[in-house]
Amino acid sequence: MGYRLFIDPTTTPQAVYPSVATDWQTAGNHDQAVMAVVLNGLPDEVCASKAWSDSDAGQQFARWLVSADLDGTIRLNEHFIWRCYDVDGTVIDNGNQALSEYLNSKFFKCRLNVLPR
């Protein structure tokens, strides 16, 4: 089993997920988040505030994950999760839209039914 990466400069993982008793890697900003992934590999889950995920830093981190996947530095898999929470600690959505769209296109699994001529 991998690890979970919690990105927030002011909140702790225990404040948002009090019932999740796992070791979290924490990062307070984009650079620390990148360093955590470089040193520890791709986390199973990224948790970040909705405000941070939507900020320039959050968007930059999502773009870095996609670029790192494309150049082979990391391998995003179909089980990767990016969760966002609001100021009350309630999980409100599943992450970054651009990253979600990339993952959906990467793991799009359907067959085109082509009729023979």
Name the stretches of the chain with pLDDT < 70.
1, 21, 93-94, 109-117
How many domains are contained in the chain? 1
**Domain assignment of residue 108, yes or no:** no
Contact 92, 84 (CB under 8 A): yes
**Domain assignment of residue 62, yes or no:** yes
Helices of type H across 1-117: 13-16, 30-40, 50-54, 56-70, 97-106
**Domain assignment of residue 37, yes or no:** yes
**Domain assignment of residue 100, yes or no:** no
Contact 96, 62 (CB under 8 A): yes
**Domain assignment of residue 44, yes or no:** yes
> Which pLDDT score, from 0 to 100, does residue 56 have?
92
> Which pLDDT score, from 0 to 100, does residue 31 have?
97
**Domain assignment of residue 64, yes or no:** yes
**Domain assignment of residue 55, yes or no:** yes
> Which pLDDT score, from 0 to 100, does residue 112 have?
46
Q: Provide the whole-model pTM.
A: 0.82
**Domain assignment of residue 101, yes or no:** no
Parent domain of 82 = 4-95
Q: What is the pLDDT of residues 97-112, one digit of tens each?
A: 788 888 888 887 544 4
